[in-house]
Each structure stands twice: as structure tokens, then as C-alpha cells.
């Protein structure tokens, strides 16, 4: 086909000779010619449709072909004619009698043809294969052959399609990549343009907010974009603008009557500024509320809300901001929770920004939040209560007002009686007097509104409401803890000192708050509070023991600390026996584990209960001295030093307890009714510690830490003389704090002692030191770990064997029971 097209291109047809050229001016059209054309218009239609342009182009073209090229074209034509004749001869149509016609889907009939070249030649292979016959169309194909042939055709077609698709994919993929690049470039350009627009609008607003207040709407519109990055930039830009331009007062929109009044241009301008600012601020908050639930925007939204609440707590829509912050104050996300807690803390600390109203609202919302979630929140949710501040002068003024009211009640009654008797005859003056009182009240209200001095009555009411909401939350947590403990008194058969965080997670911050604000608790609630603390911390009866097993050691120590703080700050109002708390502290010392429990709380409990308290009973003081000395042997240096400081303080106060420093075991006449020391007694008064000796000090004198060893040596040098005076300058809490900080950088130094001065002894000691230094620490660790694993496996095997013995014994008893039952049945039958 390509050759034919090329030949057709090179064909040259010589144009015919043109008639002589005649100009239009020389042509004359007669009237007869016109009449003839008018009469035969039907014949002239075909003439009018002729394409004169193509005719003139074909006729007027000039042949630029040389004579040699014409000769080559003629020779090609002569060669092509015999080839076409041979092809026509090769096409041999089969006789219609020998073969049936084939009908197509369109309904047409045609006969198969075969070429002579495919037929067997003279003297060649006359036996043709079946495939050749099938290809020639002479034989009919079977179904299997047809299927195979169709499969081959399909495979060939698929290959051709794959080739065409591959050829098509290459340009399409390049076009797609180019399109993506163009889109990215346009997206970057739009992002930069919007970013620049936000910056320009924000700078203009910060420079002159009154004249550029309309730009706030444009910034809010940009913040509603589909791109997340643009939305975040818009929200943060609006946050920066609002922090700067929001006024220091709460905006009140004018009423309809006020809008009807004619005002000056400045007032109109200010009204327009405030209304537009308030509407855009409202739309901004609505946008934040809608994006709060989306995880990709949550951090940005919470940051904006917390920043607004911290910066402008006095402004409009404070309730919505507080609602969102309190709702997320117990969020599982650490970032969100810390932001919300920080906003509430700053709100409580900076109460002067809002006059205390936001503090009261926040405390109420937190109390409702704790109530709705049944006290199952994160401990950080009520931690900000510790940062509340209360003005005690207001409470004193309130008490003085109540006292003065009661005192002047009689005088008022007498005065009212005199005025009523005096005004019986002057009924006409009642209206004037009421008008005077109303006028004076209005003047006083206007003066209070105009003056900058805070309203004492209002502050007193807000403070009392805040206190009531806070203590309501604390008492609800205590009651919920008691109910959860009594609901499952037999939660575990084995004693456990770890508390599940899901049961009472708010107990620790609740006890911290009660310890701080114990002086503000009403006297009517003191008895119930002490009973709750005693039931949580005391281990007197079986039920309380099971309850104490569900609490941690730190929580039980906090209960003891809070009880003593309440008692100390309300000595005149309460008369409660604290013996149960001493018993609990005596038992907690044995249950304490460093690393798991808080050593600071233990040191604080020792300071408040044993050091700061008045004179103790001799038996109780001796029991604590002996137990704390034993405790100092088992735990870290910080705990040991705090315990030894307490021991020294108790020995300074109780001179008779210094007999424990002597070697006279039994105590002599001082031992009391109990002649033998009971180390496992739960009550310190029944331990008989005066009948023992403080032999622990001799071991503590060799302690690796110099502070502990010096303290132990100073205690051991004390005597039982009455005239000796010892001044204790360090408290257990301060000693624990100092030594725990020092312990981080402390490195114990071991001095090699010389046992003998001989050379052999020195050489042997040197060889032992060399061998010790040559030992690999990893090998020692592996051997020790295998040893301890072996011991643990032995203990597990012993426990399993004991369980196996119990089960075998129970099975034997059951079999014996069956035998006895069978014997009884037989005897009955006989």
C-alpha cells in the first residue's frame, strides 16, 4: 500500500492546451444568450455547481518534471503490470460444485479461494498435511481444532493490544507526570499567596484595628480553605490578632431602643467596630468547635482555645471556652491534657483578670465533670484545685458581719417599734421615705459600678461557692473510694500493696487538696472526714485490713498525713484519738518498698506524726525507735538517713528510751509489763521494745554512705544522763530530700584495710584483687541470674508440689467418702 501511494504521488498528468486568453471586456453577451439561459435554468444548475477553483488549479499548474524522471515512471509501470497479472492468476477460485458457500453474519455468501502457489507442484510432495488443508479452507475443522485456533488468534490479538497499550502508556504517563508537576507548582503558588495575604491582613489589623476591622472577615474566610496547612495558619493568625485587639471589657451590643437614639459618629464607629469584632470572634469559635473532633486539627484547636482562655478570660463566650477545656482535661492525649490543665491553672492563679467569676465557673464545671464520670478520670483533672487561692479576710469579715447582725438584732426590733409608733400619724410621708431609699440605693449602685474597687459581697459569695464546689468534689471522691472498697471486700486473697489505677485514680490528688485546705473545712464536716480517713488508713478490724490492701502505701501514708494536718489546724474544735493512725504508720514502715512507693511521703509522715507531735508514750516511742532502726538496715541511704534522724529526735525527747543504747538486754525496771520484745506485733504499745537493744546501730556505723554512718555513730554516743541537751536541726523530710539529690552523683569509696604487715599477706591480697579485677562482670551476672532462676524454680516446684498434695488428699478423701457410702447402702439392703 505504501508503494502504491508513493507511485501515485510521482504520477504526472500533463495538462491539456489552454484556449486563448480573452479579457472580460472583449466578451460580449447578447440578449439572445440571456433569454436562452433564462429558459433553460434547469440545465444551468449543474454548471453553477462546478468547482471553478480546483479546475483552474489543475489546469494552470506547470509540470516541473524532467524527461529522465518520466522515463523511469514509464518503466515502473511496465514492470508492475506483469506482477499484477501473475497475482490474479495465482488467485484460483474453487469450483462452486465442489465447495459450499460460506454465509457471514450479515447474510452474504462467498466462496473460498486458494492460491496456486499453495497447491502441490509438479513432481513435489503430493500428500499435504491436515494443517495445510485446513489453512487452505478445503477441510472442515473439528470443535477442538476450532477452539485451539481461536485461542491462538486471541493470544496474537492480546499481544498486539499489549504492544499498542505500551506504546500508548508512555506518552500518557509523561503527560500525567507533567500534569502533577504543574498542579504542585500551582498549589505552592496558591499556598504562598494565601500565606502572604494572611500576613498582610494581620499586620494591617495590628497596626490600625479600627480602620481595618473588615480584614477579620477575609482572614476567617481564608481559614475556611480546603488545605489543612492554610486552615492551621489562618487559625493561628487569627489567634494572634484576637489576643492583641480584644478590649479589656465585655462587649454588650446595643438594644433596639438604643439603636433608635441618635448618636455621634464616634459612637457609631465604635458600635460598628465592636459588633464586627464580636461576630467574627463568634464565627472563629464556631470554626474551632467544628474542627475540634478531627484528629489532624485537635492539637491546634485546643492550643487556640487554651490561649484565648488564658489571655482574655473576661471577654464574651467564656463559657464555651471553659466547656471545651474542662471536657478535654482528662483526655488520653498527653499534649491536650497538659494544655487544658495549664489553662485552668493560669485561670486560678491570675484571678485578677476576671475578678474570680471564671474561677467559680471552672470549679463548678470540673465538679460536674467528676460527678458525671463517677470519679473515673485522670488524676490531672483535679490537680489544678491545689492552685486555688482564697482570701481569709473575707471569711473573717463574714463572721464579724454575722456576729454584728445577731448582736444588733434586738436594737433593730426596738427601733422598728419606735418608728412604727411614730409614723402611725404620718402616713403621707411613707411615699417620700420610700422614694428616698430607692434613690440612695440607685446612687450607691452607680457609685459601685463607676468605682474600681471590687464588690466585697460579690467576692464573698463567689469564694463561698468555689469552696463548696471544691469540697463537694473531694468528699465525693472519698465516698466513692469507700463504696468501691466495701463493694468488693474480698477482691484478692493474697495481700497486695498495688492499687489498680482504674478503681480510685483521684484519691491521691484529693488527699493533697484536703491537706492543703484543711483549715477551710467547716467544723460540721470534720467528724465525717476523720472517720473516712481512719477507715482508709487504719487496719483495726478485718474489713479495714482488706480495704487497706486495696490502697497503695503512698495513699495510706497520705491519709495519715491529712488526718494530722486537720487535727493540728483545728485543735480547739476537735477531740479525736489518733492512736489508729500511729498503729497504721507502725505497720506501713514494714510494707514500704523503695522505688515503688514515694519516700518523700514517708519522710513527711515521720516528721508530722513523730517529730512535730507532742510528747509520746514511752512504749510507743521505743517501738518506733526499734522499728525505724531495723528499717534503716534494709533500704536506701536516703530512707535510712530519714529514719535515723527520727530515731535521734525520739531519743532526745524520751530520755528513758536511751536505755536501748545500753547492752543490758531486758530493759530492767524500764521494760514495763512486757518482758520480751515482740518484733511482729501490729500495735506499738504491745511490742515490748524497751526489752531490746539497738544492735542495728553497730551495723549502720559501718554503712557505705558517710552521712548514714556519722548519724549512727552520733546516736550511739548518746547517754541516758538527764542533763545532756541535743539540738536537732535537720528534719527527716529535709534529710531525705538532700540525700536523694546527692545520691545521684555519689560514688562510694572503699578503702583496703591492712590485715597483716607481712609480705605474704600483702602478696596474697594483691593476687586476690587482681583476680577480682580480672573477673568479667557479664559472666558473674549470668551466673547469678541462673542461680536466682534456679531458686525461683525450686520455690515454684515446692508450691506446685504442695498444691498437688492437697489435690491428691482431697481425691483420697472423696474416694473414702464413696466407699463409706457404698458400705452404708449395703448394710441398709441387708
Best-predicted range by mean pLDDT (59-68, 440-449, 671-680, 736-745): 671-680
CA–CA dist 735, 643 (Å, integer) = 9
Q: What whole-number percentage of the chain has pLDDT above 90? A: 21
Place of cell 444548475: 45
Residue 546: its pLDDT value, please?
47
Place of cell 465525717: 528
Residue 476: its pLDDT value, please?
92
Q: How confident is the model at residue 400 (pLDDT cuts 50, 70, 90)?
A: low
Nearest partner of 347 among 328, 315, 322, 378, judged by Cα:
322
For the segment 602-606, the average pLDDT, to the nearest whole number, is 91
CA–CA dist 152, 157 (Å, integer) = 9
pLDDT tens, residue by residue, 257-304: 888 888 898 999 999 999 999 999 999 999 999 999 898 999 999 999
> Does the pLDDT value for residue 312 go beyond 70?
yes
Q: Output 161 or 3, whichever has higher pLDDT.
A: 161
CA–CA dist 64, 269 (Å, integer) = 89
Q: Are 321 and 309 in contact (CB under 8 A)?
A: yes
Please state whether the predicted TM-score (pTM) of the whole model is above 0.75. Answer: no
Place of cell 471536657: 327
> Does the pLDDT value for residue 463 go beyond 70?
yes
The helix, strand and coil proportions of the chain, stated in percent and rounded to the nearest 5, come to: 70, 0, 30
> Does the pLDDT value for residue 324 go beyond 90?
yes
Residue 453: its pLDDT value, please?
57
For the segment 219-233, the average pLDDT, to the nearest whole number, is 90
Distance of CA 392 to the CA centre of its chain: 38
> Does the pLDDT value for residue 94 go beyond 50?
no
For the segment 19-48, the average pLDDT, to the nearest whole number, is 72
Instruction: Considering only CA atoms, give the Rg of the chain.
Output: 54
For the segment 238-246, the average pLDDT, to the nearest whole number, is 92
For the segment 506-524, the average pLDDT, to the nearest whole number, is 87
pLDDT tens, residue by residue, 348-382: 998 877 778 899 999 999 999 999 999 889 999 99
CA–CA dist 510, 475 (Å, integer) = 9
Nearest partner of 110 among 123, 99, 118, 121, judged by Cα:
99
* Torsion from C-alpha of 795, 799, 805, 806, nearest 10 degrees: 160
pLDDT tens, residue by residue, 656-666: 888 888 876 55
Residue 441: its pLDDT value, please?
76
Residue 398: its pLDDT value, please?
52
Which helix (DSSP H) or strand (DSSP E) does residue 271 occupy?
A: helix 265-291
pLDDT tens, residue by residue, 627-667: 999 999 988 888 999 999 999 999 888 888 888 888 765 55
Mean pLDDT of the chain: 76
Q: How confident is the model at residue 130 (pLDDT cuts 50, 70, 90)?
A: very low
Residue 509: its pLDDT value, please?
92
Q: Look at 43-47, 426-430, 693-697, 789-793 and tell me which has the smallest mean pLDDT.
A: 426-430
pLDDT tens, residue by residue, 675-702: 788 888 888 888 888 888 888 898 998 8
CA distances, 102 to each of 107, 142, 146, 174, 676 (Å): 10, 16, 16, 48, 126
> Does the pLDDT value for residue 155 go beyond 50?
yes
Residue 60: its pLDDT value, please?
54
Work out the angle at residue 257's Cα, subtended by the Cα atoms of residues 255 and 260, and round it to the nearest 5 degrees.
110
Q: How confident is the model at residue 305 (pLDDT cuts 50, 70, 90)?
A: very high
Burial level of 66, CB count in 10 A (0-12/13-18/19+)? exposed
pLDDT tens, residue by residue, 714-727: 888 887 655 555 55
Q: Output 478 or 571, whichever has higher pLDDT.
A: 478
> Does the pLDDT value for residue 240 go beyond 80?
yes
Nearest partner of 341 among 374, 312, 304, 379, judged by Cα:
379
Q: Are 538 and 583 in contact (CB under 8 A)?
A: yes
Residue 643: its pLDDT value, please?
92
> Does the pLDDT value for residue 306 go beyond 70?
yes
Amino acid at each position: 500500500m505504501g508503494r502504491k501511494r508513493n507511485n501515485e504521488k510521482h504520477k504526472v498528468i500533463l495538462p491539456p492546451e489552454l484556449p486563448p486568453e480573452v479579457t472580460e471586456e472583449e466578451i460580449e453577451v447578447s440578449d439572445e444568450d440571456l433569454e436562452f439561459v433564462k429558459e433553460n435554468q434547469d440545465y444551468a444548475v449543474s454548471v453553477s455547481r462546478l468547482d471553478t477553483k480546483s479546475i483552474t488549479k489543475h489546469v494552470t499548474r506547470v509540470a516541473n518534471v524532467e524527461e529522465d524522471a518520466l522515463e523511469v515512471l514509464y518503466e515502473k509501470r511496465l514492470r508492475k503490470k506483469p506482477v499484477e497479472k501473475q497475482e490474479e492468476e495465482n488467485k484460483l477460485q474453487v469450483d462452486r460444485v465442489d465447495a459450499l458457500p460460506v454465509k457471514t453474519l450479515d447474510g452474504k455468501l462467498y466462496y473460498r479461494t486458494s492460491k496456486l502457489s499453495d497447491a502441490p507442484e509438479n513432481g513435489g510432495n503430493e500428500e499435504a498435511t491436515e494443517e495445510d488443508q485446513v489453512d487452505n479452507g478445503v477441510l472442515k475443522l473439528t470443535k477442538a481444532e476450532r477452539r485451539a485456533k481461536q485461542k491462538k488468534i486471541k493470544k496474537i490479538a492480546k499481544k498486539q493490544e499489549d504492544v499498542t497499550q505500551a506504546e500508548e502508556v508512555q506518552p500518557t504517563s509523561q503527560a500525567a507526570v507533567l500534569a502533577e508537576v504543574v498542579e504542585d507548582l500551582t498549589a505552592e503558588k496558591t499556598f504562598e499567596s494565601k500565606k502572604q495575604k494572611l500576613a498582610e491582613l494581620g499586620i494591617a489589623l495590628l497596626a490600625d484595628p479600627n480602620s481595618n476591622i473588615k480584614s477579620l472577615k477575609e482572614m476567617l474566610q481564608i481559614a475556611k480553605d480546603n488545605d489543612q496547612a492554610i486552615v492551621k495558619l489562618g487559625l493561628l493568625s487569627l489567634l494572634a490578632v484576637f489576643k492583641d485587639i480584644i478590649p479589656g471589657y465585655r462587649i454588650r451590643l446595643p438594644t433596639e431602643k438604643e439603636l433608635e437614639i441618635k448618636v455621634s459618629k464616634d459612637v457609631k464607629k465604635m458600635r460598628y467596630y465592636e459588633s464586627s469584632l464580636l461576630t467574627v470572634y463568634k464565627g472563629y469559635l464556631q470554626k474551632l468547635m467544628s474542627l475540634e473532633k478531627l484528629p489532624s486539627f485537635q492539637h491546634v484547636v485546643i492550643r487556640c482555645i487554651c490561649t484565648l482562655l488564658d489571655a482574655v478570660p473576661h471577654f464574651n463566650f467564656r463559657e464555651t471556652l471553659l466547656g471545651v477545656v474542662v471536657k478535654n482535661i482528662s483526655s488520653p492525649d498527653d499534649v491536650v491534657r497538659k494544655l487544658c490543665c495549664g489553662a485552668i491553672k493560669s485561670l486560678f492563679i491570675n484571678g485578677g483578670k476576671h475578678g474570680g467569676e471564671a474561677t467559680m465557673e471552672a470549679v463548678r464545671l470540673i465538679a460536674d465533670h467528676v460527678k458525671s464520670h463517677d470519679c473515673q478520670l485522670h488524676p490531672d483533672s483535679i490537680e489544678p484545685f491545689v492552685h486555688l487561692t482564697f482570701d481569709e479576710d473575707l471569711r473573717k469579715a463574714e463572721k464579724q458581719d454575722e456576729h454584728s447582725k445577731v448582736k444588733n438584732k434586738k436594737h433593730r426590733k426596738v427601733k422598728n417599734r419606735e418608728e412604727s409608733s411614730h409614723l402611725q400619724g404620718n402616713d403621707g410621708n411613707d411615699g417620700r421615705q420610700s422614694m428616698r431609699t430607692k434613690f440612695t440605693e440607685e446612687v450607691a449602685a452607680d457609685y459601685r459600678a463607676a468605682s474600681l474597687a471590687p464588690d466585697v459581697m460579690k467576692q464573698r459569695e463567689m469564694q463561698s461557692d468555689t469552696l463548696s464546689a471544691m469540697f463537694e468534689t473531694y468528699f465525693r471522691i472519698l465516698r466513692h473510694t469507700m463504696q468501691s472498697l466495701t463493694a468488693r471486700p474480698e477482691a484478692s486473697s493474697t495481700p497486695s500493696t498495688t492499687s489498680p489505677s482504674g478503681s480510685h485514680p483521684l484519691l491521691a490528688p484529693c488527699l493533697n487538696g484536703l491537706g492543703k485546705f484543711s483549715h477551710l473545712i467547716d467544723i460540721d464536716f470534720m467528724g465525717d472526714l476523720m472517720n473516712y480517713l481512719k477507715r482508709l488508713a487504719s487496719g483495726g478490724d478485718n474489713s479495714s485490713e482488706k480495704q487497706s490492701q486495696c490502697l497503695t502505701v503512698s495513699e495510706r501514708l497520705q491519709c495519715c498525713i491529712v488526718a494530722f494536718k486537720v487535727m493540728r489546724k483545728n485543735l480547739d474544735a476537735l477531740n479525736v484519738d489518733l492512736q489508729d493512725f500511729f498503729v497504721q504508720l507502725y505497720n506501713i514502715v514494714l510494707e514500704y518498698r523503695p522505688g515503688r512507693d514515694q519516700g518523700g511521703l514517708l519522710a513527711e509522715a515521720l516528721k508530722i506524726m513523730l517529730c512535730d507531735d507532742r510528747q509520746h508514750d514511752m512504749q510507743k516511742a521505743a517501738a518506733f525507735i526499734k522499728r525505724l532502726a531495723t528499717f534503716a538496715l534494709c533500704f536506701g541511704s536516703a530512707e535510712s538517713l530519714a529514719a535515723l534522724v527520727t530515731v535521734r529526735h525520739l531519743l532526745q525527747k524520751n530520755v528513758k528510751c536511751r536505755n536501748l543504747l545500753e547492752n543490758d538486754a531486758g530493759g530492767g525496771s524500764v521494760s514495763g509489763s512486757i518482758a520480751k520484745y515482740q518484733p511482729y506485733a501490729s500495735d506499738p504499745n504491745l511490742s515490748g521494745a524497751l526489752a531490746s537493744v539497738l544492735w542495728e546501730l553497730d551495723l549502720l556505723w559501718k554503712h557505705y554512705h558517710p552521712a548514714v554512718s556519722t548519724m549512727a555513730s552520733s546516736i550511739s554516743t548518746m547517754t541516758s544522763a538527764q542533763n545532756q541537751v541535743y539540738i536537732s536541726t535537720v528534719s527527716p523530710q529535709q534529710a531525705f530530700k538532700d540525700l536523694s539529690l546527692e545520691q545521684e552523683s555519689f560514688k562510694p569509696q572503699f578503702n583496703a584495710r591492712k590485715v597483716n604487715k607481712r609480705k605474704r599477706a600483702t602478696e596474697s591480697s594483691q593476687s586476690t584483687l587482681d583476680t577480682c579485677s580480672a573477673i568479667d562482670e557479664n559472666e558473674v551476672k549470668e551466673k547469678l541470674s541462673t542461680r536466682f532462676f534456679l531458686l525461683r524454680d525450686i520455690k515454684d516446684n515446692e508450691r506446685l508440689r504442695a498444691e498437688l498434695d492437697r489435690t491428691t488428699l482431697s481425691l483420697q478423701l472423696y474416694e473414702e467418702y464413696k466407699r463409706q457410702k457404698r458400705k452404708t447402702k449395703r448394710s441398709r439392703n441387708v
